[in-house]
Chain A
């Protein structure tokens, strides 16, 4: 199992450019998440998905869009990048075991370091 993989590992964008970050998981997990982590700060949830074809907003969704066309993939899009979106982006996935909502075990990818100039 590769677990959770993220593509690309690094990227530099100019303000106004667009890009898509790809997250893939081979664990057959239903739930997938996108977080961002700024220097010295904790993780902040951008968007998440509880299943193929469904997405929902997290805590900091502005400026991002997501799609979950296949169960194993979760894409994060930046339509018009801004310097404030310079960050490390982490994808995570988890499965439902019939436990209470909000107690799933999330497994993280290695991250994508994005710099917007």
Chain B
């Protein structure tokens, strides 16, 4: 699976959009971009994933650049409950079952 790079931490004001970037310049054609988050001491929570096109669900939007070398997770209206560590994961058809979490981005939503 391709390596990802994320900023270690970000702040966001409550009610504003949180834009979390991820660089995955070595991504290959059949690899998906997944986003998970882990709120302190809780189990990782699936947010969204995509291959080429932008995706949106009830939690967030995922914007993938045309060359697929980077992506942005957007939380449209961040709340205090969105404070968590966010992980960008690239997964593909490598036969590897495990989810590999890197160091992620610690998002702190400020009141």
Contact = CB atoms under 8 A, between A and B. Distances in A.
Interface of A: 4, 33, 35, 42-45, 48, 56, 58-59, 88, 90, 92, 100-103, 105-111
Interface residues of B, number: 23
A103 B50 CA distance: 11
Which applies to chain B's interface (DSSP): helix, strand, loop or mixed? loop
A45 to B, nearest CB: 4
B43 A58 contact: no
Contacts, number: 64
Given A90-B43, A108-B44, 7 more contacts: A43-B98, A43-B99, A59-B98, A90-B44, A92-B43, A102-B97, A108-B46
Nearest to A90: B43
Nearest to A40: B103
B95 interface: yes
Interface string B1-33: 100000000000000000000000000001010
